[in-house]
Structures are given as C-alpha cells and as structure tokens.
Chains A and B, each alone.
Chain A
Amino acid sequence: NAGVTQTPKFQVLKTGQSMTLQCAQDMNHNSMYWYRQDPGMGLRLIYYSASEGTTDKGEVPNGYNVSRLNKREFSLRLESAAPSQTSVYFCASRLSGGNTGELFFGEGSRLTVL
C-alpha cells in the first residue's frame, strides 16, 4: 500500500518550459487535490477533483491545468512555467462521503523555475 505517490520529486525548469506533475493513489479515494506551498507559507489549493471525470478550480488556479485520468490518477500541468510557480507541490486524496475526512498527502514535488 503505497498511499499517494507523486513524481517527480525534484524538477528544475526554465521560464516558458512546460511540465506535468503526476499523482496516483491506491486507496480507492474519490477526491483528489493539488496544493502548492511556498516558503514559510501555508497550503494553497490549486485544483481539485471531487470524483472521476470532474475537476474544479481552487484558490490559485491561474497558470495550471489538471486532468483526472481515472480514479487513481490526477495530474497537474504547467503549460508555460514562470518563476512565480517555484514552489513545493503536494498532491492529496481523501474518501469523500466516508466517516473520516482525513486527507492523505504525497511526499511533495519541489519545482524550481529559473
């Protein structure tokens, strides 16, 4: 049982390059989330997916796109990276509708945009 797995763990991009962060969970959770965490700051929601086939904007969606590929996988794409997107990105999942609302996080992906 791996939980929530994110790849890559580290990435350096140049301004204007694109990349996709991958996330997969093996807990049969229906809801998945992408957060970013800037140094010394909190967790800000980028996008979330309540269930397979649906995605919604969070607090800071500009510059990002997401795809809920299937129930297990939720990817985050940066089409044209900017230095302001330098951050640590966390994917998370939970079982909505269950008796616990616990959010399970991946280990994080540290992205640097030069």
Chain B
Amino acid sequence: GENVEQHPSTLSVQEGDSAVIKCTYSDSASNYFPWYKQELGKRPQLIIDIRSNVGEKKDQRIAVTLNKTAKHFSLHITETQPEDSAVYFCAAHRLHNTDKLIFGTGTRLQVFP
C-alpha cells in the first residue's frame, strides 16, 4: 500500500517569507496528490491538489509541484500571512480507486507577524 512521508514536522517563518513543505510517496501508481489545511480546532479542508499529468499548479499564493520520477511533491506558500498558520497534510492515492487514503504526518506552520 501507499506510504507518505512529510517534512518538516514544524516550520516557523516570518510574515512575508515563503514556506515549503515536502512529501514523498511510495506507490508509483498514485495519480492524485491533495493538500489539506487544518486550522486550530477545525476540520481539515482541501486547499489545492494536483494530478500526475501536470508538474505544477498554482492558486494565488499557494502552489504545488510534482516530480513523478523522484516520487515527491511539495507545497509552496509565498508571501505568508498569519492566517496561513495551521497544520498542513499531504496525501497520495489513485483517483479512481477506493484504496486506503493515507495522510502524511502533518506540518505545523507558524507565521510570525
């Protein structure tokens, strides 16, 4: 089955700086790579996702890049703001399969004003 590793576990940045979170996956058949954001005391929510047929996707200040050969993908947040402070989770799975849906261990991002 799929195994997802996520780094770093914690990340502190100054407001305005960029933040990068990295994930690696094991199953080369995985073709869908979502990122979820969980604010304190809230439920996780999808913020961006990428499929294996593209290498990069952007949505305003967030972007995700995918390297299928190396089996890793990354979340990039530019011009960070205090409201970006949260725990971020990555996942990897086969979009049209009903597999176990395993998450990375999470990254706690703190953005200091």
Q: Please determine whether chains A and B interact with each other in the same assembly.
A: yes
Q: Which of chain A's residues has its CB closest to B107's CB?
A: A42
Interface size class of B (residues with CB under 8 A): 20 to 34
Whether B89 contacts A42 by the Cβ 8 Å rule is: yes
SS class, residues of chain A in contact with chain B: loop
Q: Which of chain A's residues has its CB closest to B45's CB?
A: A105
Indicate whether A48 sits within 8 Å of B49 (C-beta atoms), given known contacts A42-B89, A101-B93, A105-B43.
no
| A65, CB-defined interface residue at 8 Å | no
**Shortest Cβ distance from residue B59 to the other chain A in the assembled complex, whole angstroms:** 14
Partner of A33 from B36, B49, B96, B101 at Cβ < 8 Å: B101
Residues in chain B near residue A51, CB distance under 8 A? 98
Against B, the Cβ 8 Å flags (1 = close, 0 = not) of A63-97 are 00000000000000000000000000010001011
| B18, CB-defined interface residue at 8 Å | no
Which residues B90-110 have CB closer than 8 A to chain A?
91, 93, 95-98, 100-106, 108
Partner of A43 from B32, B97, B103 at Cβ < 8 Å: B103
* Chain A interfacial residues counted at CB < 8 A: 27
Which B residues form the contact surface with A (CB < 8 A)? 6, 32, 34, 36, 43-46, 49, 89, 91, 93, 95-98, 100-106, 108
Sample (29) of A-B pairs whose CB atoms are under 8 Å apart: A31-B98, A33-B101, A35-B103, A41-B106, A42-B6, A42-B89, A42-B103, A42-B104, A42-B105, A42-B106, A43-B44, A43-B106, A45-B100, A48-B100, A50-B98, A58-B100, A90-B43, A94-B101, A96-B98, A101-B32, A101-B34, A101-B49, A102-B46, A102-B49, A103-B46, A103-B101, A105-B43, A105-B45, A107-B43
